[in-house]
Amino acid sequence: MIRVGIVGYGNLGRSLEALIDLEENMELVKIFTRRDPSSIDNSRMESLDNILDYKGKIDVMVLALGSATDIPEMGPKITEHFNTVDSFDTHAKIPEYFAEMDKISKENNLVSFISTGWDPGLFSLNRMIAESILPRGNTNTFWGKGVSQGHSDAVRRIAGVKNAIQYTIPKQEIIDEIYNVERSLKSYETHLREVFVVAEEGANQEDIRNEIVTMKNYFDEYETIVNFISEEEFEREHTGMPHGGHVIRVGETPNGKEIYKLSLELDSNPDFTASVNVACIRACQRFFENNNFGSHTVLDTPPVYYASNNINLLNKYL
């Protein structure tokens, strides 16, 4: 039985709670929050201030926190006392974050499994495996159709925008013709962005549209579609959290091309990310039991570590 704690109670935290409760070999001990725990109708909430009271009572702590500031600030502090699993997803900062977490975990004979989820995570794993098998070729990653939280936030900050959501959409015509794509394309070549905006009354839609499509780093390089909709339509059509994507490697071998493609089609992005987190809780615990302290990622994890039990795997999967 692995005793688990969750830090954070947003969409990811709630998915984790539901999934851990379904695991026969895990027990959810507490969910830690910076809010007043009594303000949340859930008997397992606990103040983050009391987290150290749970040393020795929780085996693995899952950090269901944002990557912008929360994980970089709180991860190192928590990993000093607990084994941790996180979904840190600021790709450019992962090596630096790994180094910091690795040092602290090792000093404390603990394990931190970082940057799990699907990208980084499963997609990273498949990019590496595909390139190891097919070293000559090109890899393209497609994201979506799904919501980009960062782009949605950026649009919501525009004057006159009451609410907004942004979908990243891979160009299907490129995926269909991937056999003939000879290089790793830029993200703006392979995706379009579609925005649904609820405008404030009296706001100038053309001004909003212009501000969106010219926004540096976010939209300016992309083909962008802006739709203005009513608040009712927004609530009815745009509150789900579907996502997905593809990692596709086209490899050259002596007798042709070989295509390796991993695809995800997700009804619920937080449920799937949490599902990967749960498999990584098992892996984290196994690294710990093997005294393999420090930071780990999907790249160095023996796949059996994810399995819910290790019985008869050869019979079952090979």
The annotation places the binding site at 9-12, 33-35, 87-89, 116-120, 143, 168, 193, 243, 269
Question: CB–CB of 111/105 below 8 Å?
Answer: yes
Q: 122-161: which residues touch a copy of itself (CB under 8 A)?
A: 122, 124-129, 131-136
User: Which is closer to a copy of itself, CB of 179 or CB of 237?
Assistant: 179
Question: Could you tell me the strand order of the sheet in which 45-47 lies?
Answer: 45-47, 26-33, 2-7, 60-63, 83-86, 111-113, 294-296
Given CA atoms 98, 247, 189, 209 in this order, what sign does their dihedral have?
A: negative
Q: 90-109: which residues touch a copy of itself (CB under 8 A)?
A: 91, 94-95, 98
Size, binding site for a copy of itself by CB under 8 A: 72
Q: 212-241: which residues touch a copy of itself (CB under 8 A)?
A: 241
Q: Residue 67 pairs with which residues in a beta bridge?
A: none
User: Which is closer to a copy of itself, CB of 195 or CB of 262?
Assistant: 262
| Closest to 243 (Cα-Cα) out of 262, 266, 263, 261 | 266
Numbered residues of the known binding site for NADP(+): 9-12, 33-35, 87-89, 116-120
- The site map against a copy of itself for 157-196 (x = CB under 8 A) is ----------------------x-----------------
Does 31 interact with a copy of itself (rule: CB under 8 A)?
A: no
Residue whose entry in the numeric block shows the structure tokens 């931190």: 112
Does 87 interact with a copy of itself (rule: CB under 8 A)?
A: no
End-to-end, the C-alpha distance of the chain in Å comes to: 27
User: Which is closer to a copy of itself, CB of 57 or CB of 91?
Assistant: 91
Does 299 interact with a copy of itself (rule: CB under 8 A)?
A: yes
Strands, E assignment, 171-201: 191-199
User: Which is closer to a copy of itself, CB of 82 or CB of 98?
Assistant: 98
| Minimum CB distance to a copy of itself, residue 137 (Å) | 10
DSSP, res 95: H
Does 256 interact with a copy of itself (rule: CB under 8 A)?
A: yes
Q: Tell me which amino acid residue 307 is.
A: A
The runs of H, that is alpha helices, within 165-230 are 172-176, 187-190, 205-213
Question: CB–CB of 281/301 below 8 Å?
Answer: no
Contact with a copy of itself (CB under 8 A) among 18, 40, 52, 159: 18
Conformation bin of residue 7: beta by default, left when phi > 0, alpha when psi is -120 to 50: beta
Cα–Cα distance measured from residue 257 to residue 179, given in angstroms and rounded to the nearest whole number: 8
Does 52 interact with a copy of itself (rule: CB under 8 A)?
A: no
CA-to-CA separations, 27 to 5, 31, 306, in angstroms, rounded: 9, 12, 17
Does 84 interact with a copy of itself (rule: CB under 8 A)?
A: no
Residue whose entry in the numeric block shows the structure tokens 């390796």: 260
Contact with a copy of itself (CB under 8 A) among 144, 245, 270, 294: 270
DSSP, res 118: B
Name the one range near a copy of itself by CB under 8 A: 55-63, 163-171, 204-212, 252-260: 252-260
| Minimum CB distance to a copy of itself, residue 191 (Å) | 20
User: Which is closer to a copy of itself, CB of 223 or CB of 271?
Assistant: 271
Numbered residues of the known binding site for substrate: 143, 168, 193, 243, 269
User: Which is closer to a copy of itself, CB of 52 or CB of 299?
Assistant: 299
CA-to-CA separations, 162 to 157, 215, 222, in angstroms, rounded: 9, 18, 23
